[in-house]
Amino acid sequence: MSNNELNWKIGGEAGYGIMTVGEIFSKAFIKGGYYVVAHTEYPSLIRGGHNTFQVRIAAQQIRAPTQPVDVLVALNAETITLDLDDLVPGGLLLYDAANSDVAPARKDITLCDVPLAQLIADLHLPKVAINMAAMGASVGLIGFELSVLNAAIEDAFGGKGEKIVEQNVGAAKAGYDYVTRTYPEPYKGGLTPVEGLPRMTLTGNDAICMGAFKAGMKFIAIYPMTPTHTIMTYMAAHAREYGVMMIQPEDEIAGINLAVGASFAGARSMVATSGGGFSLMVEGLGLAAATENPLVVVEGQRPGPSTGLATRTAQGDLRFCLHASQGDFFRVVLAPGDPAECFYETFRAFNLADVLQTPVLVLTDKHLATSFFAAEPFATEGLRVDRGLLLAEGEVPPDFKRYETTPSGVSTRTVPGLPGGIFNANSDEHDELGYFSEDAPMVATQVDKRCRKYFTAATLVHGIKFHGNPGADTVLVGWGSTKGAILDAMDLLRANDGVDLGFLQVVFMSPFPSQLVKERLEGGSRVILIENNRGAQLGSLIKEHAQIRPDHTILRYDGRAFFADELYTRIKEVL
């Protein structure tokens, strides 16, 4: 740990509010001017499973978790058994010795015995409140401001009434008071609040919801599935305020077909799911494409195949999303890499869906979707809704042809209720009016029309971002949520080794930015591909579209995201 950085981890039984505590703790430090990356690991269980929440805090910009941890908070004995090895030598274990039947077996750490259960019992609060006491104790040990923690507690519980806020603040204070009395020296000099820009505490899913609200999304059908289930929670909390209808369908098949119907009727519509749910949606995706209805699909990846690892992360669905559904047609596939991109790219996804009249897939994963990050408020001034060739009343020409062949592949569009705009939105192959057609030239014409949107889309999007040293002879290549770990690993390389690398982030997988990728990777630079999957799926796309093979491939596919320090080491191994 450097002096302005700290890694804190809390573990406990599922049901003890580990997630709540983690979010509040993260928000407190972001309020205090720090950058935070917080991720959670938990099994797919409601009760009894082992949950952890790890918060990396730093004064300088950070974007990914690291190992090891400086402070480990054990709310149960299992945390000591499973997570003690995560502690850095000299690190600090906060635990309740009176309620732990496991003795910490390490001599190179500092033990902070805090009678959490007793403190809570003294306050006559339910046992679950030990999580708040542990958080207050942590703030005391780290030498942070209790008042800032209290503000974060109030944000979290304000909606539940003053009494609940008071109880939680009281529990935190009890923990804080105990440690500041017993261990007056803050750990390694402490982390006091710093001057910083106001930043939001949010997950990728939160940012996606905000982007969708901003874009005027009015209809969302979502069947609960980790890791996009928190989109449901967020939507439900704000649906009324934003005049959005969220419907929980009987299954994902119904979900996507509901959304196609709502889109056909003129409302901006979306669905959100994970790989398994998307598997069920595949035929509906083709329906949207064939009828040329705008639709936004959020696919939060987790490891597969089948149920896989429901609560862990992966980037294994890229090829699936690119090819899902039968037949030749064009869909946009894009992958944000951080919360800001989740916001802006989701907003853009709705414009692209309308402008191109085709499905747009936004790929995230459990790590990006549900981890907490610090982000400056999004700049919304320049964002303009573009509904493409959607006609308004009085604009429908007498010879209106919904599927008229055009150079862009996109035709004018009407919605039910609009006089003069009647047409058949036909899943069968059809002619320009939507009437079914098996005429060979017309079939080819309509297939071409829909596929031509690929080239139209390519003129609308840039597709890549380049970070770091533009002249570097070694370029890292990645996509999606690995962006954070890659940028942080580059910071470590620069700071520790004086090595300044470049990073090519591919944002659009379809249309694929072939030329831009070629330009960046051609000319003898060494290419290191980094992906959270087994098959190096972006690598295969680069081979296909840019005829370039990576010199090295760094993959992780055990259900966990890259740690920045781990990636740093793995990059150094091949440098």
Partner 1 sequence: MGDVHRYDVPDTRPTWCPGCGNFGIWNAMKAAYASMDLAPHKTAIVCGIGCSGNLSYWINTYVLHSLHGRSIPVAQGIKLANGDLTVIVHAGDGDTYGEGLGHLLHAARRNIDITVFVHDNQVYGLTTGQPSPTSFKGTKWKVAPEGIVASPVTPLPLALLAGATFVGRGFSGENKHLSELMAKAIRHKGFSLVDIGQPCVTFNHVNTWKWWNDHVYTLEETEHDRFDYELALKKAQEAGDKLPIGVLYEADKPTFDDEYRSLNAEPLAHVPIDNIDVDKLMARHL
Q: Which residues bind partner 1 (CB under 8 A)?
A: 31, 155, 198-202, 206, 210, 213-216, 218-219, 221, 238, 240, 242-243, 245, 247, 249-251, 253-255, 257-269, 283-284, 287, 291, 377-378, 380, 384-385, 415-428, 434-436
Residue type at 436 in one-letter notation:
F
CB of 269 to partner 1, least distance (A): 7
Q: Is 280 exposed, middle or buried (0-12, 13-18, 19+ CB in 10 A)?
A: middle
Nearer to partner 1, 101 or 250 (CB): 250
Give least dist CB 322 to partner 1, A: 21
95: helix, coil or strand? strand
Compute CA distances 535 → 121, 225, 369, 385, 410, whole Å: 53, 24, 22, 37, 34
Count, residues in the chain? 575
| Closest-CA residue to 114 (of 50, 159, 71) | 71
Q: Check residue 3 and report its DSSP letter.
A: T
Least CB distance to partner 1 at residue 66 (A): 24
**Calpha distance 87→372 (Å, rounded):** 22
Q: Give dist(CA 314, CA 559) in Å, integer.
A: 6
Element (H, E) at 222: none
Q: How far is 374 from 76, CA to CA, in rounded Å?
A: 29
| Of residues 5 and 23, the one with the C-beta less far from partner 1 | 23
Residue 197 — left, alpha, or beta (φ > 0 → left; ψ -120 to 50 → alpha)? beta
Of 302 and 430, which CB lies nearer to partner 1 in the complex structure? Answer: 430
To partner 1, the closest distance from the beta carbon of 263 in angstroms equals: 8
Which one-letter amino acid corresponds to residue 130? I
CB contact at 8 A, 42 and 77: no
In the complex, what is the shortest distance from the CB of residue 305 to partner 1, in angstroms, rounded to a whole number?
24
Q: What is the dihedral of CA 354, 356, 362, 363, to 10 degrees?
A: 170
Closer residue to partner 1, CB minimum distance, 437 or 532: 437
By the 8 A CB rule, do 369 and 307 touch?
no
Whole-number Å distance between alpha carbons of 280 and 320? 12
Bridge-based pairing state of the strands 332-334 and 508-510: antiparallel
Contact between 173 and 120 (Cβ < 8 Å): no
Residue whose CB is less far from partner 1, 153 or 489: 153
Packing angle of the helix pair 514-521, 537-546 (nearest 10 deg): 90
Report the residue number, 436 or 455, with the smaller CB distance to partner 1. 436
Q: Which is nearer to partner 1, 1 or 221 (CB)?
A: 221
Give the ranges where 194-299 is alpha helix by DSSP (H).
Answer: 204-214, 229-238, 252-264, 275-291
User: Between β-strands 110-113 and 245-247, what pairing exists: parallel, antiparallel or unpaired?
Assistant: unpaired
Q: How far is the CB of 429 from partner 1 (least distance, A)?
A: 11
Q: Which is nearer to partner 1, 370 or 533 (CB)?
A: 370
Comparing CB distances to partner 1, the nearer of 260 and 363 is 260
- What does the DSSP 8-state code read for residue 46? S
Name the residue nearer to partner 1 (CB basis): 147 or 496: 147
The minimum distance between CB 12 and partner 1, in angstroms, equals 25
Q: Which is nearer to partner 1, 27 or 188 (CB)?
A: 27
Residue placing its CB nearer to partner 1 in the complex, 242 or 466: 242
Residue 208: CB minimum distance to partner 1, A: 12
- Residue 553 CB, nearest distance to partner 1 (Å)? 37
Q: How far is the CB of 428 from partner 1 (least distance, A)?
A: 6
Angle at 303 between CA 488 and CA 367, to 5 degrees: 30
Quickly tell me which residue has 């003069």 as its tokens.
420
Looking at the DSSP bridge assignments, the partners of residue 505 are: 465, 478
Cβ 172 to partner 1, closest distance in Å? 20
Minimum distance from residue 89 beta carbon to partner 1 (Å): 36
Q: Smaller CB distance to partner 1: residue 56 or 268?
A: 268
Measured from the CB atom, the residue of 98 and 237 that comes closer to partner 1 is 237
Rounded Cα–Cα distance for residues 387 and 238 (Å) = 24
Closest distance to partner 1 from the beta carbon of 334 (Å):
20
**Cβ nearer to partner 1, comparing 431 with 491:** 431
DSSP letter, residue 551 = S
Nearest-approach distance from CB 249 to partner 1, in angstroms: 7
Exposure of 94 by Cβ count < 10 A (0-12 exposed, 13-18 middle, 19+ buried)? Answer: buried
d(CA 450, CA 408): 9
User: What residue spans of 104-251 are helical by DSSP H?
Assistant: 116-122, 130-142, 146-157, 162-182, 204-214, 229-238
What is d(CA 435, CA 428) in angstroms, rounded to the nearest whole number?
Answer: 9
Q: How far is the CB of 245 from partner 1 (least distance, A)?
A: 6
